Amino acid sequence: MAKSHKPVVWFPFAAGGTVIAFFIPVIVLLTFLAALGHVPPGLSYERMHAFAGSGLGKLIIFGVVALSLWSSAHRLRCTCFDFGLRADTLAATVLYIAAIAGSLLSAVYLLQI
């Protein structure tokens, strides 16, 4: 039996899972606070815009977005499989393309800042 090449998709999935666990709840909370007009000190629009404009900021934001999308796509693929949807190749193709498209869009958007 040949060894599996699953690590190619699993490693970014695992990294994304870690990112989702540690960063996404905080980002959701801060976004909600900002939407309700309670912008925490130090996270003003100007400062965040400047952060997104720097090279390191772009890289961090892209990393968070791309890894989270990839992790979600892979988790959804596994969930489809767990629920008995046997069209794994189709599910994987659709979901991974969606994750890659989302990542590319975020890259394009970040490069415009």
Which residues of the chain form contacts with other proteins (CB under 8 A)?
1-8, 10-11, 14, 78-79, 81-82, 84
Nearer to other proteins, 4 or 112 (CB): 4
CB of 14 to other proteins, least distance (A): 7
Question: Helix 55-82 crosses helix 88-112 at what angle (to 10 degrees)?
Answer: 160
Q: How many other CB atoms are there within 10 angstroms of residue 38's CB atom? A: 9
Nearer to other proteins, 44 or 79 (CB): 79
Nearer to other proteins, 8 or 26 (CB): 8
Report whether 8 contacts 72 (CB < 8 A): no
Gap between the Cα atoms of 111 and 113, Å rounded: 6
CB of 19 to other proteins, least distance (A): 16
CB of 1 to other proteins, least distance (A): 4
**CA nearest neighbour of 65 among 73, 55, 53:** 73
